[in-house]
């Protein structure tokens, strides 16, 4: 049996996080945990793309300020977003002068970044790595679905792309006691034949389950080892499917949640099945979750960012949606 989970002998320190969130998110239940809140999602720019670039740029500046670091203190910058060719990230970071890796794992990208950064640091190739991912409802909606002006009606299974950016600085050392990455499980691509781009939760739930099962099996743990197992953006529809699929394999979750469910108030905010996007798990982790770990509300969490790896052409060509999920175990002892 192949072991896909890697355990760090010296856990990787998450020394700082920063989050920026859009207007709708800032009116939601996690509002008080965000570092920067937008009052207007255009953020003083002329296009949604430029707004997303500014969001990323400002959040990277903010985390450096919070951590009292300069660009030159960061060995690598790992970033990604949902825009074609990752332009939001690469445009946003060009002033920072930091060796750069662009990554793409759809809404799982934040998890992919944490995993790659952890292995690079653990291998001794970096002291500090900055990882961040963004999404913007308007730039994503325009690119993946319909022009905003069209005002298309949304299906109940659809999710709402989170506007924002979450980033974290990882290091091998920290003077303070901070949350640590103990182990990582990199996901495999899972495609169960879903081809409805408005039901990404259904496409991603089997991938989330596959990675969670792999993680627990590799480490010989049961679900209740963690105070919280939190998926990225399955939303209400995807979470129901995850719970059902897990029960078929005799796995019961007592402590399951989802960033896409947490970030909005479904009863008061018209977001259909919940939040999604590269920013969904990144913003939720870098605000609410990080703070709740530090205050010991959660001592052990398993973060499982999920991604649906389609594009508009693949949907038009009637292809199914491959999905992926990564697991990152974060503990605070």
The site for a copy of itself (CB under 8 A) is made up of 2, 4, 6, 47, 49-50, 72, 75-76, 80, 82-87, 90-91, 93-94, 97-106, 112, 115-116, 119-120, 122-125, 143, 186-191, 309-314, 317, 319, 322, 324
Strand-pair category, 275-276 with 256-258? unpaired
C-alpha distance from residue 22 to each of 19, 40, 81, 115, 160 (Å): 10, 7, 15, 26, 12
Residue whose CB is less far from a copy of itself, 107 or 229: 107
CB of residue 254 to a copy of itself, shortest distance in Å: 27
**Beta carbon of residue 102, minimum distance to a copy of itself (angstroms, whole number):** 4
Which string of b and e fits 42-73 if b means at least 16 CB within 10 Å?
ebeeeebbbbbbbbbbbbbebbbeebebeeee
Task: State which residue, 62 or 122, has the beta carbon closest to a copy of itself.
Answer: 122
Minimum distance from residue 32 beta carbon to a copy of itself (Å) = 33
Bridge partners, 129 (sequence order):
76, 170
Contact between residue 20 and residue 55 where contact means Cβ atoms under 8 Å apart: yes
Please, which residue, 26 or 186, has the CB nearer to a copy of itself?
186
Contact 78, 130 (CB under 8 A): yes
Strands 128-135 and 76-80: what pairing? parallel
Q: How far is the CB of 76 from a copy of itself (least distance, A)?
A: 7
Q: Which is nearer to a copy of itself, 119 or 294 (CB)?
A: 119
Residue closer to a copy of itself by CB (options 65, 188) is: 188
CA gyration radius for the chain?
18
User: Minimal distance in Å, beta carbon 181 to a copy of itself?
Assistant: 13
């Amino acid at each position: 049996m192949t072991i896909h989970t890697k355990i760090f002998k010296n856990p990787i320190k998450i020394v700082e996080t920063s989050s920026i969130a859009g207007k709708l998110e800032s009116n939601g239940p996690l509002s008080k945990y965000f570092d920067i809140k937008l009052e207007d999602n255009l953020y003083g720019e002329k296009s949604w793309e430029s707004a997303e670039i500014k969001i990323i740029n400002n959040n990277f500046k903010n985390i450096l300020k919070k951590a009292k670091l300069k660009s030159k203190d960061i060995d690598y910058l790992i970033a990604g977003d949902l825009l074609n060719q990752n332009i939001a990230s690469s445009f946003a970071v060009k002033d920072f002068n930091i060796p750069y890796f662009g990554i793409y794992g759809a809404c799982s990208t934040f998890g992919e970044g944490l995993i790659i950064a952890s292995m690079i640091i653990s291998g001794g190739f970096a002291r500090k790595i900055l990882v961040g991912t963004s999404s913007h409802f308007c730039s994503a909606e325009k690119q993946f679905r319909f022009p905003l002006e069209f005002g298309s009606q949304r299906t109940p299974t659809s999710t709402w792309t989170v506007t924002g950016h979450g980033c974290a600085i990882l290091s091998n050392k920290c003077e303070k006691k901070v949350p640590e990455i103990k182990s990582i499980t990199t996901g495999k691509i899972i495609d169960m034949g879903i081809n409805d781009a408005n039901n990404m939760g259904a496409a991603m739930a089997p991938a989330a389950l596959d990675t969670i099962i792999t993680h627990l099996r590799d480490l010989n743990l049961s679900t209740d080892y963690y105070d919280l197992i939190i998926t990225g953006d399955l939303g209400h529809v995807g979470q129901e499917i995850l719970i059902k699929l897990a029960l078929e394999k005799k796995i019961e979750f007592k402590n399951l949640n989802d960033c896409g469910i947490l970030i909005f108030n479904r009863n008061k905010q018209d977001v259909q099945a919940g939040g999604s996007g590269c920013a969904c798990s990144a913003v939720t982790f870098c605000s609410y979750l990080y703070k709740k770990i530090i205050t010991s509300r959660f001592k052990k969490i398993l973060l499982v960012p999920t991604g649906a790896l389609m594009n508009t052409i693949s949907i038009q060509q009637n292809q199914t949606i491959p999905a992926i999920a990564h697991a990152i175990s974060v503990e605070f002892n």
